[in-house]
Amino acid sequence: MTRMFVDAWDPAYGASFEGGDGEGPASPSSAQVDTDVEVPAAEWAPIGVPAAARPPDVVFLVDGVRRNDAGLWTAEEDGTSYAGLAASYAAGVVRCDLARGAAELVGARVGRGLFTASPSAGDLQAGTVRYEIHRINGSGEASKLPAAVQGPLTALEIEISSAARDGGSDGADLLIVDGPLRNRRQLPRTIGYVKTQQKQYLPAALTTVVTALRPGQRTPVFHLGTVWGGWSWYLRLPGASGAPWSGIVRVECSPDLTVEQAIELAHLSGATLPRFASASYKDPRAPQNLVPIAGLERRLRGMLGDSRVLHRALALATSRTR
Amino acid sequence: MIGVSDEAEPPRGGEPNAKPESEPVGRVLGTADATPLQFWTAVAPGSYLQLDDVVVTRRDLPDREPVTIAGVVTQVRARHEGAQFDSDVFAIADGTLPAMVQEAAEITTTRVDPELYVPPAPGAIVHRASGETRDAALHFDRMERRVPMGTGRDGVPVFLNADFLDGTRGAHVSISGISGVATKTSFATFLLYSVFRSGQLGADGANARALIFNVKGEDLLFLDHPNTKLDDGTRAYYKLLDLPDSPFTDVRVYAPPRPGDPSGAPDVSGRLTGVDAFYWTLEEFCSAKLLPYVFADADDERQQYTMVVHSVTAHLNRFAVPAEGGISIDGRRIGSYGDLVDHIVDQLTDDETRSVWAGSAVNMGTVNAFARRLISSKRDLSRLIRGDLAQRRPHQIRTADSAQVTVVDLHNLPDRAQRFVVGVTLKTEFEEKEKAGTGRPLLFVVLDELNKYAPREGTSPIKEVLLDIAERGRSLGVILIGAQQTASEVERRIVTNSAIRVVGRLDPAEASRPEYGFLPPAMRQRALLARPGTMFVNQPDIPVPLCVEFPFPAWATRKSESGPPPAETLRSIVQSADPFAVIGGRAGGDDDIPF
């Protein structure tokens, strides 16, 4: 009889992997994958945390949240209309000092933007809040606007994470970025933490290694040859339901690093991340949504302000422009 | 108006704590309702607020002067912000979950100045009040006469408005609390000391008299002995309160005669000097109609025989003739209480005389019930009602002729005798006051176990006297300082007539009763664990009870800690002059005329 598992994630968030057949990430990636980096592909096997690997005392975790405050429409002089999006976004850094037992918010910044393709729109002052204009290129359909928020948010995240480390790493800490690294790869000692697996990067033969991982174990490092690629590995977090792909996260680091540095970071992630895994009864995206990240997101959402208040302020502000 | 630090207030001249200095401690919360009478304050990082701290904030109004809102901290809470689950605390302590500790304090408003009841604006800066700001917040600045009653939790003196103590605007004190830990009697005596020695009541304070009934141990018999355990810290405490650290100066102690002692020596063991025996002669017993006080149990009043009591009392009053200390009635000389009881019982059981003594409509059962109780009172009262002791020897408790403080020792007496003494003494004192018709000098009556003398249910002659004092005493200058374990068991009219209500450690079941409605919920909870020496005092012009700590007594409370007795007590009251005094020299403190 087929064994079944309930996905730990709240259905509202989708599944921790997007797949059609339940076998794992659905769409095979077209990326060139080099699986012979750490060990030859033929010798792939789960790798535990080496006894010598000590988790860093200080871990920084960066995350950002965003919220669409209101959708707008402009009325141009010539009678045309453009869609607009007023969004609030915030990025913050948590500094987990595990030696001292204190997690604190070391930096957080809130940004608000008005995203529109309208050539005539300017900054929007809604009550005490100012929405900066971010003019986007192209026709600016309403459906494309939410994606445009990601740029300024990522910029904010980079800005704040370099500020949190006072401009540099002390060589022992670790910065965990929520989501793929993308253009944040220049940050030192940084790993990207990917919660949802949408692409299947590994060949089918090696996928069994992923599903065979026990909590805390990782796959060998492999190299992704895509634009935003780099060194990457899979890791299973504790507290998963036992389904083949549950609790699996993909970790990546900058391709500018050497293989040895990447492997060191992989060891470090195996020693560090399981500790931060969340419990399913507390977090709808457990265990992948890390405890500090969840706490940070709550704080950041609080900083975004009350959406109803902002929506009302926007409505009031726009009514004056008529 | 109350000064807040951001504006320079002209300091009031001469006050010891006139410098208004207040530090910001937080801001008014916006996540909980802020009302004019109660609001929450978020405590700023690095600051703290504790219960009973006095804070002040300000609200600016358009076209008006700003309103200053002052209050007392009645609850403080701290919580993790950013945590959702109880178990998150482990993740937070582990250093994986970012969270913030935020403290918040509930403020109960004590004063709004000017009286414009607007809520403080969320976000408004809250200052800790000190100096004259604190005085104003607690209404001390409006008190013309401030009787110090100890210090607050912040170590600064707190005061009682004398207007509510001496009858000007209110009178009577009700003190409740568990026996032993609540230090009710200690607080009552300290309050008296403060009244007498603070000088706030002026001549009234110096002339005032106190009548203290000592019901437990010999605690109160050493009021005029210095306390040898007084240390420098306590002396400094008294100095802070602006009170001398000396014992009561003018104390007279009365104790019942030793049982079976024909000479009537006072029955005390600890205090050996300056104690006088009190008793009533048979003649006084008859002429002053004291018989009803023998039946002063509330249960007695419900019985049929009360009418017998009254007719016998009337008969004794009419026919008893004084005879050499005793009395003579129906041609018989009676020399002791026992004899009197026997005679009354004889007369009542005799068919021929019964109707003369008890009236005609009394049946035998009622008479027997009366006789039974009268006979049982022989054992308790025969030492107090005497026919064998000198009539002219001073033996009556009269505060007017006595010292400033009169202590009546009851602790050796059985229950019925205690009731008799309290009832008769209070009645006599109150009647004296009624006759004098003036409210001065003040008489403070300290009575513990008020629930015994004035129970909520039933009625008794003592309860009548106490009710009289509670309801009319204010104008006659009789101030009742009543103490009880449970205010809920004391006659409601006595409790409600008390302007000042004091609570020490309370029993949990008792604390939830409506009699303690003046305590806010948090304070009610605190009263369950109040330490000895901590009282909650509610006075009419401060809307929140104050938590008061009062100093260790400067007078001895037991033999072991008592210093040398004052010189005056070495001289007995029986001798009006000291036989060892040199004529013309100074004996004791008095300047007696030598002829």
- What is the model's pLDDT at position A29? 67
d(CA B211, CA B428): 12
Residue of B nearest to A293 (CA): B97
d(CA B324, CA B380): 24
Residue B451 has pLDDT above 80, yes or no: yes
Over residues A83-107, the mean pLDDT reads 88
Over residues A83-90, the mean pLDDT reads 91
Domains of chain B: 24-142 (no CATH), 157-278+396-497+534-564 (3.40.50), 281-386 (no CATH), 566-595 (no CATH)
d(CA B253, CA B426): 16
DSSP-based three-state secondary structure for A66: strand
Question: Does an H or E element contain A239, and which?
Answer: none
Residue B539 has pLDDT above 80, yes or no: yes
- At B136-149, the pLDDT tens digits run 888 888 888 888 88
| B166 beta partners | B171
B546 in Cβ contact with B520 (< 8 Å): no
DSSP-based three-state secondary structure for B409: strand
For chain B, say whether A58 makes contact (Cβ under 8 Å): no
Contacting residues for B472 by C-beta, under 8 A, at least 6 apart: none
- What is the model's pLDDT at position A24? 53
The hierarchical CATH code for the domain A27-321 is: 3.30.2170
Question: Using CB atoms and an 8 Å cut-off, which of residues 96-115 of chain A contact chain B?
Answer: 96-105
The larger pLDDT score, comparing residue A320 to residue B426, is at: B426
Chain B contacts of A296, Cβ < 8 Å?
Answer: 98
Chain B residues with at least one Cβ partner in A under 8 Å: 82-85, 87-88, 91-100
Structure tokens at B115: 């009286």
3-state helix/strand/coil string of B52-85: CCEEEEEECCCCCCCEEEEEEEEEEEEEEECCCC
d(CA B132, CA B255): 47
- What is the model's pLDDT at position B586? 44
- Sheet bearing A231-236, strands edge to edge: A33-34, A222-224, A231-236, A248-253, A190-194, A174-178, A58-73, A83-97, A102-116, A129-135, A124-126
Chosen from B86, B97, B100, B102 to mutate, greatest number of chain A CBs within 10 A:
B97
Q: What percent of chain A clears pLDDT 90, i.e. is strictly above it?
A: 11
Chain A contacts of B100, Cβ < 8 Å?
Answer: 105
For chain A, give the number of residues: 322
A237 in Cβ contact with A247 (< 8 Å): yes
3-state helix/strand/coil string of B112-174: EECCCCCCCCCCCEEEECCHHHHHHHCCHHHCCCEEEEEECCCCCEEEEEHHHCECCCCECEE
Of A98, A275, A295, the CB nearest to B82: A295
Of B87, B95, B99, the CB nearest to A101: B95
Structure tokens at B103: 């403290």
Over residues B273-297, the mean pLDDT reads 83
Q: What percent of chain B clears pLDDT 70, i.e. is strictly above it?
A: 89
Chain A contacts of B90, Cβ < 8 Å?
Answer: none
For chain B, say whether A292 makes contact (Cβ under 8 Å): yes
Residue of A nearest to B90 (CA): A101
DSSP secondary structure letter of residue B567: G
Over residues B524-541, the mean pLDDT reads 87
Chosen from B96, B101, B102 to mutate, greatest number of chain A CBs within 10 A:
B96
SS3 content of chain A, % helix, strand, coil (to 5): 25, 30, 45
Verify whether the Cβ–Cβ distance B95 to A105 is below 8 Å: no
Residue of B nearest to A104 (CA): B98
Residue B6 has pLDDT above 50, yes or no: no
DSSP secondary structure letter of residue A57: S
Question: Does an H or E element contain B266, and which?
Answer: none
Stated pTM of the model: 0.73
- At B27-59, the pLDDT tens digits run 999 889 999 999 999 999 889 998 888 999 999
Q: How many CA atoms lie within 13 A of B194 on its CB side?
A: 29
A-B C-beta contacts closer than 8 Å: 47
- At A210-249, the pLDDT tens digits run 888 888 899 999 998 877 778 999 999 988 777 888 888 9
Question: What ipTM score was computed for the predicted complex, to two decimals?
Answer: 0.70
A61 in Cβ contact with A278 (< 8 Å): no
- At A141-196, the pLDDT tens digits run 888 888 888 889 988 988 888 787 765 556 778 889 888 887 777 788 889 998 88
Q: Where are the beta strands (DSSP E) in B437-572?
A: 443-447, 478-484, 500-503, 534-538, 546-549
Gap from B230 CA to chain A (nearest CA, Å): 48
Q: Which of B557, B559, B573, B556 is nearest to B269 (CA)?
A: B559
Q: Which of B278, B305, B282 is nearest to B292 (CA)?
A: B305
- At B355-376, the pLDDT tens digits run 888 777 778 888 888 888 888 8
Position A251 confidence tier, pLDDT thresholds 50, 70, 90: very high
What is the rounded end-to-end Cα distance, in angstroms, of chain A?
66
- What is the model's pLDDT at position A27? 64
DSSP secondary structure letter of residue B565: P
Residue of B nearest to A100 (CA): B95
Q: To 10 degrees, what angle do helices B351-358 and B337-349 make?
A: 110
Position A90 confidence tier, pLDDT thresholds 50, 70, 90: very high
Question: Using CB atoms and an 8 Å cut-off, which of residues 183-242 of chain A contact chain B?
Answer: none
